[in-house]
Structure 1
Amino acid sequence: MTQAHYETQGDVAVITMDNPPVNGLGHGLRKGIVEGLRRALADDSVKAIVLTGKGKAFSGGADIREFNTPAMSAQPGLNTVFEMIENSTKPVVAAIHSVAMGGGLELALGCHFRVCAPGAQIALPEVKLGLLPGGGGTQRLPRVLPFELALNMVVQGFAVPSDKLKDYKIFDAFIEGDLMAGAVDFARKVVAEKRGLPLVRNLKVDYPDAEGYLAVARAAVKAASPRLPAPLNCLEAVAASTELPFDQGLKREWQLFIELMESPESRALRHIFFGERAAAKIPDVPADTPTREIRSAAVIGAGTMGGGIAMNFANAGIPVTVLEMKQEALDKGIGIIRKNYENSAKRGRIKPEDVEKRMGLITPTLSYDDIGNADIVVEAVFEDMAVKETVFRKLDEVMKQGAILASNTSTLDVDQIAALTKRPQDVIGTHFFSPANVMRLLEIVRGAKTGKDVLATTMKLAGKIRKLGVVAGVCDGFIGNRMINQYSRQAGYMIEEGATPQQVDRAIEKWGFAMGPFRMGDLAGNDVGWYIRKRHYAEHPDAKFPRFADKICELGRFGQKTGAGYYKYEAGKRDAIPDPLVEEMLVRHRAELGITPRKLSDDEIVHRLLFALVNEGAQILEEGIALRASDIDMIYLTGYGFPMHRGGPMLYADMYGLYNVVNRIEDFAARAAKTPNGDADCWKPAPLLLQLAAEGKPFNA
């Protein structure tokens, strides 16, 4: 079936792009456009051509389904389409509506004329994929918009409503009402007035002090994006429009595009783009699975986590009732929510009137009787099975039939929680990340008896409250915390062997992490990990663990909230200050273990941390706890501060080479076997990792 429909309206040919959902410029559509142009040019009765898009977009750009496939580079390419339009003996009018982005905007800029419906979104967002517009966008856009605006649109990738571009050369007319009727009339008018066939390429970039402005812009871009090459390459491509003739500018644009296309940073960002979309797909839960209506919600607990979860519902316009056991705790929690909203209003993130609007959606209560009619209830109480048992038995009594019973557990057995009720099909894990009103990740834990409609509803709800929902199976810690446990263990072992907390943090932060393991522990509260470790000690009495973390906690050094942890903190400040007391404690601890401290390189520190994640991730994949490797990456990118330009632990392993990963793991195991506190068993390579390495395959196929 053709992806470009051809029809004539009198003496005007209309080519309509039809490649849902956003008329991506895949090979089939490019071929259809070329065929339509040839047909119109061969018909003497056709005097002009209108190009438009069916449905919800003029065109959203490249067809992402063709990325990394031969179809992406198959002829006719986009430049072939441009050449046909520019060489056309008949005027070609782009009729733009809704969305013209990326290659779609470049296509419109290649036409002789552009007419636009109000409210269309105009953008060249390729920088967000670690790329730059490779179809002439960096050369044409500065010729039809003010130079600084064009440069910022390309470097930052933001969209501009078409209405704000009315005064510039980018559009020849705005069409109110019927876009197609207006476009056809415009095309006839062009022919009648014998306007000729103007090309954007023939316009000059009008910016007298480009050199001085670009020097300042380069410094700003380097400072804002030190780890990403795409913004600077975008700037250099746009700069070429002021320095080179058009065709040479196109060559320069293409050179810079190819540099980015082959870069690990672009591979990482493209992986994220596809990974976020893949996360929504659950193999045994079809897209058309019926979902339950979520018109109201309830949250059990008004603490930091409960309050943040409640804010998510209110932000999405969903009324939410917050339940606490004591008035003092309830008042404190609601007060913190209000303060958060007021601070957001002061910073301009929400309107002042939104504070009361959102607070009006939050109802505090001390009675379970007030939550029974909610469509979903999220338990956000202390991470203790006995506490959760009390809550879920009560929820089973009071909640209406059909309500979803969700637990914000971060490690506990969701199946055990579900078994506390008479409706395990309605129970699901919803692991929010702190602060819950800010962090984008929502780890959705599917129990053995969780209904498919409950899972589909929760995934849909994640989108509504602006979270990235990622499905996990049931195990201790699910995906994220099960892996971070191994990461933290290696951090603990390394300070016992001779590193300092600040050296470990500094090494992984220099590599790109937002925060190292010890600063992260101090921020989250070291007592949280201590509580979980004590459970692990009881469950696995023969397992080896680094024990220095326990000594820190035994002194009440729980981190920022107590003014001391692995670091010390000044009142009212969050700066982590190295503490000589911790170093003295480490010296004594190493002596007790019989360890002669050694110097660890930053490379060893970084890769022991990373490959501890990767090896556990491979085990999680093999067990089916994670549906796909990219889901693991999305969890770490959106919930654990993993650097975006690295693409996640599993993608990093792919790029490092799984054969090389196995070799490094075996080296770490050999060293651990010779260390008094070492645990060589924790470096046993996961069978899936060994298999893929032997076959020369990656985690992310």
Structure 2
Amino acid sequence: MTEFHYHRDPDGIVTVTMDMTGQSANTMNARFLPAMQDTLARLGAEKGLAGVVFASAKKTFFAGGDLKDMLAVKTVTEAYFDRTQAIKATFRALEKLPVPVVAAISGAALGGGYELCLACNRRIVADHPRAVVGMPEVTLGLLPGGGGVVRLTALLGLEKALPFLLDGPQVQPRDALAAGLVDQVVATADDLIPAAKAWILANPEAHIQPWDAPGFSHPGGTQIRDQVAAASERIYQKTRGLMPAPEKILEIAAASLTMPFDAALTLETRGFMALMTTPEAKAAITTFFLGMQAVRSGKLRPEGDPWQARSSAVIGAGMMGAGIAHAHAQRGLATWLKDTDTARAEAGKAHAVALCDKAIARGRMDAAGKAALLGLITPSAGDAPPGSVDLIVEAVFEDIDLKERVIASTWPMLTEGGIYGTNTSTLPISVLAEAAPDPSRVIGLHFFSPIDRMKVVEIVVGKATGPDTLRRAYDYVRQIGYLPIVVNDSRGFFTSRVFATYLDEGCRLLIDGMAPDQIERAAWLAGMPAGPLAVFDEVSLILGQKVRQTHAALDARLGEASGFGLENTATRQVTDAMIATGRGGRHYGGGFYDYHGDGTKTLWPGLARFAEGEGVTMEAAKERLIYRQAVETLRCLDEGVLRSEVEANLGGILAIGFPPHTGGPLQFIRGIGLDTFATRARDLATRHGDRFAVTDSAFDRLRQTGDTT
């Protein structure tokens, strides 16, 4: 038994320690089933068996199914169905052993790992933050296929089980105990097996699962019409009908209440098979599991020794600078927060105070934690001492002349080897770096608002940026707990270019005669977090106009025509006219929307003046809003702005809001099929203009990129 270690003690208790060879975590791969079958056969042959403990030799308890194997499945075969049923049969045999079985959970037990725990009579977990339990399959477009839907519903009842099945949280030990997901929490991993054995010896008859006991009834009963209706409504509001997994989970959980247990398990398997080959599951596994794993594991990190900033300075204490300072302090990074006067700097620190107070109100921080965090932020109107900070993040207004002056004047604060980051959303890093004594130590660090919720940073590499600077910037972003997406320099980089196309297409639909509320509805139905008109109001029409003016001035200064935003003609036509009438966005009192004293908003009736066409169908509008962004992403890949498909997809979803169910803009293209997408993009370009045009080389580049995970 090379996968599982088997040990019987003098009391007749067998400890099965899972330690699958050649991998860092135990997974439900091809070797798992025979290992389980062999273990059960050996347990069945034991004389005087008193109990069984399942433990792990890995850092995790059990990581669940092998998602790479699942991703490779193109068509569900009868053999795959039978294999899934066979795995379930081992869990069923485990819980029908005539002795108590305990799961000793030393690390994460997720997905199939937690389903194994559910097949045990008792679940004991170590009190460690990494020892989380849960079934996150729904986040991957799947459902728990190892009995998780049926068993958790039987254990907790439908109402209490649904949040864990439909949202897929990873639950900490104490919270898991309170929710009934585990039965006991012990102080350390070393306490697990002794506690498990003690319970077995004290409860020799506790081997019958609740659902196998005579007269069993589900907690909460089976009259669940109102619960199902409420859950269905919540699912639709969350997924807009774009993700089939939550609906399938609800269907099976509800059905399991009135079915024989084993029949419900088979129904669950059929549901799992139905989801496994869907585009949504393929997209989620590719992006949210394999893609995120590639970034977090350091696969995309530049080579070199690890680096950590010990001190920092943020220049500009406005909304962005204040948010960055708070993000630093949250991770223990001391920050000098500078603005033009002390009052402005203090106001920036007050933003951190407000966020701390909010965290305290939610039970996520105490007074001591607040004091410690605020103690790391030093507001000032002056510079930090020369050579005292490892990292500077400039976060002043998007004005190239101002940024150049700030970079030059604040540079002396840097330590030797320190790096200088500029939080610009569109301005070329290669030009800004020329203001620094050493351009090789300048890099773009594009944060997104609101910073406390948007946990991603677009790292922009200028022409002169050195490899050590990139490596240190990458490590810094991970140091503060954010996801790094690395791109090469260009006007607007990746995220701002694509984001601008979304706003522009919303304006174009308005000109084409689509009712404003239907434009917003089309975006919502397509999977975007908010409509383009509402988003434009939040970022401000005036800011967009100033950015265009800045780039026009930069073109004149450099003697070049960058072409940045030139296709966004609808934006200029609509927003310039609105600004001229005093409508600059929410911050300015109104834009596409009117904002009322009671906190509500309504679309501005004056938008009707921009309609020139006869309208656009809902399906056509949804397609245009999504294709426009996908086309621009593909252009960024073709031009070498994007380094990888993984970063394009994660950045598209996390920074721009591209519909998550697609797996990101390039995965969206792959899901449709490259040739099919190319044909449709050409048709859209013929109908609506070159903003939908894509060169053949772009598709060739995507074919060459392949699966970078």
Q: TM (normalized to structure 1)?
A: 0.85
Q: Distance in 1 between matches of 2:661 and 2:651?
A: 15
2:315 corresponds to which residue?
300
- Secondary structure at the residue paired with 2:601? coil
Work out the CA distance in 2 between the residues paired with 1:161 and 1:327.
42
Q: Does 1:526 align with 2:529?
A: no
Q: d(CA) in 2 for partners of 1:165 and 1:311?
A: 30
Give me the whole-angstrom Cα distance separating, in 1, the residues matched to 2:297 and 2:125.
35
Alpha-carbon separation, structure 2, partners of 1:164 and 1:416: 51
Cα distance in 1 for partners of 2:73, 2:271 equals: 21
Alpha-carbon RMSD across the aligned residues, in angstroms, is: 3.7
Q: 2:46 and 2:465 mapped to 1: Cα distance?
A: 61
Residues 404 and 426 of structure 1 are in contact (CA less than 8 Å); yes or no, is this contact kept in structure 2? yes
* C-alpha separation in 2, matches of 1:171 and 1:396: 54
* Offset of residue 216 of structure 1: 2.7
Cα contact 2:53–2:197 (8 A) shared by 1: no
- Deviation, 1:44, is 6.6
C-alpha separation in 2, matches of 1:83 and 1:500: 57
User: Are positions 1:218 and 2:228 aligned together?
Assistant: yes
90 and 697 in structure 1: CA distance in 2 versus 1, 3 angstrom threshold: same
Between 1:101-110 and 1:654-663, the stretch displaced more is: 654-663
User: 1:501, 1:145 → 2: CA distance?
Assistant: 45
Name whichever of 62-71 and 509-518 sits farther off.
62-71
Cross-structure match for 2:16: 15
Distance across 1 between alignment mates of 2:46 and 2:249: 41
Q: 1:463 to 1:28 in 2, by over 3 A?
A: farther
1:101 counterpart (103, 110, 119): 110
Report how many aligned residue pairs link the two structures.
Answer: 679
Deviates more, 1:570-579 or 1:172-181: 172-181
Residues 7 and 534 of structure 1: CA distance in aligned 2, closer, same or farther (over 3 Å): same
Letter in 2 for 1:15: V
**Counterpart pick for 2:149 among 107, 117, 138:** 138
1:398 to 408, 413, 419: 413
CA deviation digits over 1:214-249, x for unaligned, max 9? 223223222322124433433333334431111111
- For the residue of structure 2 that corresponds to 1:206, the secondary structure is coil
Q: Tell me if the contact between 1:651 and 1:699 (Cα under 8 Å) persists in the aligned partners.
A: no
Counterpart pick for 2:448 among 433, 437, 450: 433
Of 578, 584, 592 in structure 2, the residue corresponding to residue 566 of structure 1 is 592
1:387 to 395, 399, 402: 402
1: distance between equivalents of 2:546 and 2:178? 63
Structure 1 residue 303: Cα displacement: 0.8
The amino acid across from 1:60 in the alignment is A
* Contact map agreement 1:117 1:174 (CA 8 A) in 2: yes
Q: 2:604 aligns with which of 578, 581, 601?
A: 578
1:37 Cα deviation (Å)? 4.4
User: Given that residues 16 and 54 in structure 1 are in contact (C-alpha distance below 8 angstroms), is that contact kept between their aligned partners in structure 2?
Assistant: yes
Deviation at 1:323, TM superposition (A): 0.4
Corresponding position of 1:637: 653
* Farther-moved stretch of structure 1 (555-564 vs 518-527): 555-564
Q: Which secondary structure does the structure 1 equivalent of 2:416 belong to? A: coil
CA contact (8 A) 2:490 2:641 kept: yes
Classify the secondary structure of the residue corresponding to 1:298: strand
Report which stretch shifted further, 176-185 or 505-514: 176-185
Q: Deviations over 1:349-399 (max 9, x none)?
A: 544554444322211011113474122211001112221211222233231
* Structure 1 range deviating more: 114-123 or 616-625: 114-123
Q: Give the whole-Å Cα distance in 2 for the aligned partners of 1:527 and 1:359.
A: 33
Cα shift at 1:604: 2.6
The Cα shift of 1:342 comes to 3.4
User: Which one-letter code corresponds to 1:622 in the other structure?
Assistant: D
Distance in structure 2 (CA, Å) of the matches to 1:311 and 1:221: 37
Distance of 2:487 and 2:674 partners within structure 1: 24
Structure 2 counterpart of 1:467, one-letter code: Y
Aligned to 2:558: none
State the secondary structure of the residue aligned to 1:381. coil
Is the 1:24–1:64 Cα contact (8 Å) retained in structure 2?
no
Question: Displacement of 1:583 after TM fit?
Answer: 3.0
**How far apart, in 1, do the equivalents of 2:438 and 2:486 lie?**
21
The gaps in structure 2 that reach 5 residues or longer are 556-560
Deviation at 1:432, TM superposition (A): 0.5
Shift of residue 505, structure 1, vs aligned partner: 2.9
For the pair 1:63 / 2:93, whether they are aligned, the reply is: no
Which stretch shows the higher mean deviation, 167-176 or 303-312? 167-176
The 3-state SS of whatever aligns with 2:64 is coil
Which stretch shifts more, 660-669 or 112-121?
112-121
Distance 2:551 2:407 in 1: 24
What is the alpha-carbon distance in structure 2 between the residues aligned to residue 515 and residue 151 of structure 1? 27
When residues 451 and 13 of structure 1 are mapped into structure 2, their CA distance, relative to the original with a 3 A threshold, is farther
Which of the numbers 194, 203, 211 marks the counterpart of 1:182?
194
- Asked if 1:310 corresponds to 2:322, the answer is no
Distance 1:373 1:605, change over 3 A: same
Equivalence for 1:517: 532
Paired residues of 1:279 and 1:471 also in contact (CA < 8 A): no
Between stretches 512-521 and 351-360, larger displacement belongs to 351-360
Aligned to 1:568, the other structure's residue is in SS state: strand
Q: What do the CA deviations read for 1:567-608 (whole angstroms, capped 9, x no partner)?
A: 33335746142232x433x36xx6xxxxxx332222332222
Q: Which residue pairs with 2:119 in the alignment?
A: 110
> What CA distance in whole angstroms lies between the structure 2 residues aligned with 1:151 and 1:615?
38
Query: What displacement does 1:464 show?
Result: 4.0
Label 1:319 to 1:537 Cα distance change in 2 as closer, same or farther (>3 A): closer
Work out the CA distance in 2 between the residues paired with 1:394 and 1:345: 38
Match of 2:629 in 1: 613
Deviation at 1:431, TM superposition (A): 0.4
Partner letter of residue 17 of structure 1?
M
Counterpart residue identity of residue 615, structure 1:
V
8 Å CA contact 1:519–1:576 kept in 2: the answer is no
Deviations 1:67-94 (A, max 9, x none): 3136995958532532553576777553
Evaluate the alpha carbon distance shift between residue 153 and residue 285 of structure 1 in structure 2; reply closer, same or farther with a 3 A threshold: closer
1:314, 1:362 within 8 Å by CA — same for their partners in 2? yes
Tell me the distance in 1 between the aligned counterparts of 2:320 and 2:373: 18
Residues 321 and 371 in structure 1, CA contact (< 8 A), matched pair in contact too: no
Mark the CA change 1:3 to 1:555 in structure 2 (over 3 Å): closer, same or farther. Answer: farther
Q: For residues 273-292 of structure 1, what are the structure 2 equivalents within 5 Å?
A: 273-280=289-296, 285=301, 289-292=304-307
Residue 26 of structure 1 aligns with which residue? 29
The 5 Å alignment of 1:230-241 reads 230-241=245-256
Matches for 1:281-360 after TM superposition, within 5 Å? 285=301, 289-346=304-361, 350-351=365-366, 354-360=369-375
Choose 554-563 or 75-84, whichever is displaced more: 75-84
3-state SS of paired residue (1:661): helix
Q: How many Å separate the matches in 1 of 2:331 and 2:302?
A: 25
Of 251-260 and 292-301, more deviation after overlay is shown by 251-260
Q: In the superposition, relative to structure 1, how do residues 152 and 571 fare at CA in structure 2: closer, same or farther (>3 Å)?
A: closer
User: Structure 1: 5+ residue runs without aligned partners?
Assistant: 591-596, 673-679
1:462 aligns with 2:487: no
Structure 2 partner of 1:593? none
**Aligned partners of 2:56 and 2:195: how far apart in 1?**
13
Q: Which residue of 2 aligns with 1:676?
A: none
* Aligned-partner Cα distance in 2 for 1:225–1:93: 34
Q: 1:628 aligns with which of 613, 624, 644?
A: 644
Q: Equivalences for 1:407-556 in 2 at 5 Å?
A: 407-499=422-514, 501-537=516-552, 539=555, 540=561, 545-546=569-570, 547-548=572-573, 549-556=575-582
Cα offset, 1:53, TM superposition: 0.6
